[in-house]
Amino acid sequence: MEQIKIGVIGCGSIAKHRHLPEYHLNGRAEIMAVCDIVEERAMDMAALYHAEAYTSYEDLLENPEIDAVSVCTPNYLHAPISIAALKAGKHVLCEKPMAVSVEEAESMIEAARKYGKKLMIGHNQRFVPSHQKARAFIASGEAGKVYSFRTAFGHGGPEGWSADGKDSWFFRKSEAFIGAMGDLGVHKADLIRYLLGEEITQAGAFVEASSKENSDVDDTAVCILKTESGVIGTLAASWSYVSKEDNSTIIYAENAILRLEDDPVNSLVIQYKNGETLKYELGGIQTNEEGKQTQSHVISTFIDSIAEDKEPPVSGEEGLKSLRVVLAALESGQSGKIVRLP
């Protein structure tokens, strides 16, 4: 079987801890090139994976042997680099949020269509076992009508995770565009869409910058969301959870309450109306905590979609729908009004 030749653009933490190790472990992929504007970072990763080091993504994209790239850069570069890569004939796996505007995201989708290449967005929450099992349970009808939800994603902030610590691009609006809502909130917007199998139609939010110094982006947000069938719920995204990460989701339905990643041992707990409780120990969710790295299944899914010539499950269109929720929440935070999504 011919291996898919990979280039990774951006050698920060997400590339170092997720993309590169997972490509390395994938039998269908070969890491051919890495790129970072910080030459030392590129050289270190190149040495580790026996790849070629670049400091210019344009130069990397000119390499005709590369079949596909991961875009692991600051948010404002996601669209321009992805579009350039698609134009250069490479398949693209882009980190989230896929872009900083609807227009940019639409341009990425159009480029993938025009040049006949795969575009996948790195929404890893869809591949968490508890989330997949809960989605199937809801889709089967066993939960009955879903009434509401609450979902949260919070930790102490990018300074504990980003390659640049407190000097990270995550804190600069010119590079990140949005803070905790782009880093964490977009994951949960995507997850709720995935779990319920329907679209968010209205969003309201309070979005604050209250916990971080030397930052001009949001760090704490609470959103109220409503779906097309009338399911209502809250989404919290924050960099101010100082002692322990929260990545939990609770679904309140007619016949049961589903608790996802809410218990330290049982990743899915189903509490039935009749008092019966089912507990599933399905393995932990991906986390930034040291020593708890797990397979995200994003890389393997991307590689499979190329090798088997099928549409990636988190396509550009899916990424855009989740981005729209976050953009609507930000608009609501600024206007003080409920925002309707198209």
d(CA 80, CA 107): 9
> Mean pLDDT across the chain, nearest whole number?
95
Residue type, 279: K
Quick: pLDDT tens for 117-134: 999 999 999 999 999 999
Residue 243 has pLDDT above 70, yes or no: yes
| Distance from the Cα of residue 61 to its chain's centroid | 24
Q: How many CB atoms lie within 10 A of CB 274?
A: 7
pLDDT at position 175 is 95
Overall domain count for the chain: 2
Cβ atoms of 11 and 160 within 8 Å: the answer is no
Q: Do 256 and 299 sit in the same domain of this protein?
A: no
CATH number of the domain at 15, please: 3.40.50.720
Q: Both 137 and 283 in a single domain?
A: yes
Provide the pLDDT for residue 296.
84
On the CB side of 51, how many CA atoms lie within 13 Å of its CA?
Answer: 31
Interacting residues of 316 by C-beta distance below 8 A, sequence separation 6+:
98, 105, 108, 109, 112, 119, 120, 121
pLDDT of residue 258 exceeding 80, the answer is yes
Residue 66 domain boundaries: 2-122+294-312
Taking residue 287's Cβ as centre, other Cβ atoms within 10 Å add up to 14
Secondary structure (3-state) at 18: helix
User: Based on the domain organization, do 231 and 333 belong to the same domain?
Assistant: yes
Q: Are residues 136 and 165 in the same domain?
A: yes
- Answer whether 200's CB lies under 8 Å from 226's CB: yes
Three-state secondary-structure class, residue 22: helix
Residue 103 CA to residue 121 CA, distance in Å, equals: 16
Same structural domain for residues 6 and 115?
A: yes
What integer pLDDT is reported at residue 294 of this predicted model?
Answer: 61
Say yes or no: 117 and 188 in one domain.
Answer: no
Closest by CA to 327, choosing from 94, 102, 108, is: 102
Q: How far apart are CA 137 and CA 146, in angstroms?
A: 11
Geometric angle at alpha carbon 289, from 132 and 155, rounded to 5°: 80
Provide the token pair at 63: 């390499």
pLDDT in tens, 9-50: 999 999 999 999 999 999 999 999 999 999 999 999 999 999
CA distance 210 to 225: 22
Question: Is the domain of 179 the same as that of 323?
Answer: yes
Residues 96, 138, single domain; the answer is: no
Tokens, residue 17? 């801890």
> Tens digits of per-residue pLDDT, 50-86?
999 999 999 999 999 999 999 999 999 999 999 999 9
Q: What is the mean pLDDT of residues 253-281?
A: 96
SS (HEC) of 301-316: HHHHHHHCCCCCCCEH
Whichever domain contains 167, its CATH number is 3.30.360.10
Instruction: Check whether residue 20 and residue 135 sit in a common domain.
Output: no
Q: Are residues 36 and 95 in the same domain?
A: yes
**pLDDT tens digits for 292-311?**
556 789 999 999 999 999 99
Total-model pTM:
0.95
Please tell me whether residues 23 and 75 are part of one structural domain. Answer: yes
Same domain? 111 vs 133: no
